[in-house]
Amino acid sequence: MTTPVRETVAKLTELKHQPPEGFWRRYVFSLDHKVIGRQYLDLALVAVITGMVLSWLMRLHLGYPNASIGVLGPANPSQMTPEYYLQLMTMHGTIMVFFVLTTAPFAGFGNFFLPIQVGAEDMAFPRFNMMSFWVTFLAFVTLVASFFVPEGPALSGWTAYAPLSAIGKEAGPGEGLGQTLWAISIALFCVGQLLGALNFIATTLDLRTKGMSLARMPFSTWAWFTTSVIGLIAFSVLLPACILLILDRVAGTSFFIPAGLVFNDQVQTHSGGSPLLWQHLFWFFGHPEVYIAILPGFGIISHILPAFTRKPLLGPKVLIGCMIAIGFLSYTVWGHHMFLSGMNPFSAILFSVPTLIITIPATIVTLLWIGSIYGARLRITAASLFCLGFVSVFVSGGISGFFLAQPSIDTYLHGTYFVVGHFHFVMGVAAMFGIFAGTYFWFPKMYGRMMNETLGKWHFALTFIGVYCIFMPMHYIGLAGNVRRYSSFTDDYLQPLLPVHKFMTIAALFTGAAQLIFFYNLFRSRFKGPPAPPNPWEATSLEWSTPASPPPFDNFGGKHPVVTQGPNEYGTAGAKDYVMQAGGEA
């Protein structure tokens, strides 16, 4: 009896669609994974600029609370209202977490490079892939549209805690149509990411070229694959949560709204709902989301570092095992976001222990990076510098996580800027450094031109200094009891900390200005950068074996690469100190 077989790649990777013709098919509704990857990255670029501007406005108000910021506060044109501050905070968090940290390192780079790195000609389901991007785009447009509705965008935070998020416009500014659009946007985003995860998993499992065993997959591919599995589960839970939230808002149901709730002197007609239910559903997604944002960074750094240390990364199988362990453990820790929700103290311990355990694989990965750098003759480039920066900020943010994992300490710190500093380092800045490292490393392959290295190094240096000046003081003011989510600190015991806020505001503006170097380098290099050689970094993986940069429509010019070794073959003896993965063609 024959058994089910995974057909050889030569048959399975036959393209299911022809090269596109015409502007719309080639650049807009393209089925090509490389175009879709670039579309995701461009979307993330727009999103990150939007999110960064919002953060500047917040920081300006925090540092200079009495200053006029023009027309920004709709209720009070001369000064930002607390409600408007919360709306900016909500939109900043939502845009950054969903449309930047998830979109760029996972959907952007993953779409472009995962099929190439496994030797496939495209994703397994190109049409789903195209739908994934356009649904995500629609989600972004929906979210941004909420800026222009009468009560403005949502103000219940990127976590949209119920019952505030579930009531409706009677709850106050930002709780009208803007909050509904927020929920619709995130539901759409979930659909887009589920379609993406479906593609990533099927492509990785079924479309690997001959010789590309799982053990020979690049670390970045492993990271995208692990992330897609995490995302598949996480977004499958957030989507139902958003559906229930939307129904509470528009259909009169009471999933999250408790009985007897009074808003603006009005008793709500809803009854019996559970606000904690929303928190559980949200954080069951929310904590894995941290790893959805950071694991692609793990993969990118692990993929890039050996190309610049010129020696194999230590413990490749251990590293892959740690990424899988982190993915698994990420589903056991969501309650640590809810230590202050009134949960049973024994439950808190139940969530605290795995939270501490998850630091073990994260620490092992960090030690593998540091061990791999030790003794290496590191080639200093913008990409390798951002790799080092990634390790630095990840360690800095990770260490503060040890404190927050313990309920007794978290009880004091949870509502303070200590948490803001922690997650911006370990999730936000680290993931951004991964994106920057990936951009400087893969730009030659994506656009066929080199970025300016000098500008890249300046970009790194200024950004590295800037982010530490922004986020390290947050730990100190958090320890001093500076509460978060407040729009200003002018009338209370926190006033002595105002100079620190001014310092962080200046640092934020400085760091933002430093990004102009990156934007200039990015756009200029796209059109006027020097032509890229086929393998400028002397790297080993399949993306550097394509016949051109950017790769042709079918990636390998109608041929199927045959893989003969893993991606970690650096520091070898011979004329070259590395061995390409592609040893031949089928």
Partner 1 sequence: MTAPAARAPWTPARTGVWVGIAAISMSFAAFTSALIVREGPGSDWQHFRLPPVLYANTLVLLVSSALLEIGRRRQRDGREASSWVAASGILGVAFILGQIVAWRALAAQGVFLASSPSSAFFYVLTVIHAIHVTGGLAGLGYTYRRLVRTPGSAAGVLTAAATYWHFMAALWLYVLFVLVARI
Enter the tokens of residue 358: 């998850």
Counting contacts by CB under 8 A, is residue 12 touching partner 1?
yes
Question: Which of 165, 254, 359, 488 contacts partner 1 by CB under 8 A?
Answer: 254
Q: How far is the CB of 205 from partner 1 (least distance, A)?
A: 5
209/254 with CB nearer partner 1: 254
For residues 540 and 544, what is the distance between their CA atoms, to the nearest angstrom? 7
Counting contacts by CB under 8 A, is residue 2 touching partner 1?
yes
DSSP readout, 499-568? HHHHHHHHHHHHHHHHHHHHHHHHHHHHHHSPBPPSSTT---SGGGGSSSSS--TTSSTT--EEE-S-TT
Q: How far is the CB of 209 from partner 1 (least distance, A)?
A: 14
For 315, what's the count of Cα atoms within 13 Å in the CB-facing half-sphere?
17
Q: How far is the CB of 11 from partner 1 (least distance, A)?
A: 9
Question: Which of 52, 247, 357, 461 contacts partner 1 by CB under 8 A?
Answer: 247
**In a 3-state reduction of DSSP, which class is residue 411?**
helix
CB burial class (10 A; 0-12, 13-18, 19+) of residue 302? buried
Question: Which of 243, 343, 462, 579 contacts partner 1 by CB under 8 A?
Answer: 243
Counting contacts by CB under 8 A, is residue 135 touching partner 1?
no
Counting contacts by CB under 8 A, is residue 420 touching partner 1?
no
Counting contacts by CB under 8 A, is residue 478 touching partner 1?
no
Say if CB 485 and CB 86 are below 8 A apart: yes
Say if CB 230 and CB 327 are below 8 A apart: yes
225/436 with CB nearer partner 1: 225
Counting contacts by CB under 8 A, is residue 114 touching partner 1?
no
Enter the tokens of residue 176: 């009208």
129/511 with CB nearer partner 1: 129
Q: How far is the CB of 124 from partner 1 (least distance, A)?
A: 4
In the beta sheet, which residues pair with residue 313? none
Binding footprint of partner 1, residue count (CB under 8 A): 45
331/503 with CB nearer partner 1: 331
201/472 with CB nearer partner 1: 201
Question: Which of 77, 150, 252, 583 contacts partner 1 by CB under 8 A?
Answer: 252
**In a 3-state reduction of DSSP, which class is residue 173?**
coil
In the beta sheet, which residues pair with residue 263? 266
Between CA 100 and CA 288, with CA 341 as vertex, the angle to 5 degrees is 30
Say if CB 378 and CB 315 are below 8 A apart: no
Q: How far is the CB of 199 from partner 1 (least distance, A)?
A: 8
Give the contact letters, 260-289, x = binds to partner 1 (CB under 8 A), - = no.
Answer: -----------xxxx-xx--xx--x-----
For residues 379 and 49, what is the distance between their CA atoms, to the nearest angstrom? 31
Name the one range near partner 1 by CB under 8 A: 199-207, 218-226, 527-535, 570-578. 199-207
Counting contacts by CB under 8 A, is residue 91 touching partner 1?
no
Counting contacts by CB under 8 A, is residue 236 touching partner 1?
yes
DSSP label at residue 578: B
Counting contacts by CB under 8 A, is residue 392 touching partner 1?
no
Residue 383 has φ and ψ, to the nearest 5°, of -65, -45
Residue 569's region, left for phi above 0, alpha for psi from -120 to 50, else beta, is beta
Q: Residues 379, 383, 388, 394: what is their CA dihedral angle, to the nearest 10 degrees? A: -160
68/271 with CB nearer partner 1: 271
Residue 8 Cα distances to 198, 219, 560, angstroms: 21, 23, 11
Give the contact letters, 206-235, x = binds to partner 1 (CB under 8 A), - = no.
Answer: xx------------------------xx-x
For residues 495 and 486, what is the distance between their CA atoms, to the nearest angstrom? 13
Q: How far is the CB of 549 from partner 1 (least distance, A)?
A: 27
Q: How far is the CB of 259 from partner 1 (least distance, A)?
A: 7
Q: How far is the CB of 383 from partner 1 (least distance, A)?
A: 33
Counting contacts by CB under 8 A, is residue 14 touching partner 1?
no
197/293 with CB nearer partner 1: 197
186/451 with CB nearer partner 1: 186
**In a 3-state reduction of DSSP, which class is residue 14?**
coil
Show the DSSP H helices in 64-176 as ranges.
82-94, 109-118, 126-145, 164-167
Counting contacts by CB under 8 A, is residue 239 touching partner 1?
yes
Residue 392's region, left for phi above 0, alpha for psi from -120 to 50, else beta, is alpha
201/579 with CB nearer partner 1: 201
251/575 with CB nearer partner 1: 251
* Non-local CB neighbours of 373 within 8 Å, separated by 6+ positions: 305, 309, 388, 391
Counting contacts by CB under 8 A, is residue 440 touching partner 1?
no
7/577 with CB nearer partner 1: 7
Residue 504 Cα distances to 63, 497, 527, angstroms: 8, 11, 36
201/378 with CB nearer partner 1: 201
Q: How far is the CB of 499 from partner 1 (least distance, A)?
A: 46
Counting contacts by CB under 8 A, is residue 79 touching partner 1?
no
Counting contacts by CB under 8 A, is residue 170 touching partner 1?
no
Residues near partner 1 (CB under 8 A): 1-7, 12, 124-125, 194, 197-198, 201-203, 205-207, 232-233, 235-237, 239-241, 243-244, 247, 251-255, 259, 271-274, 276-277, 280-281, 284
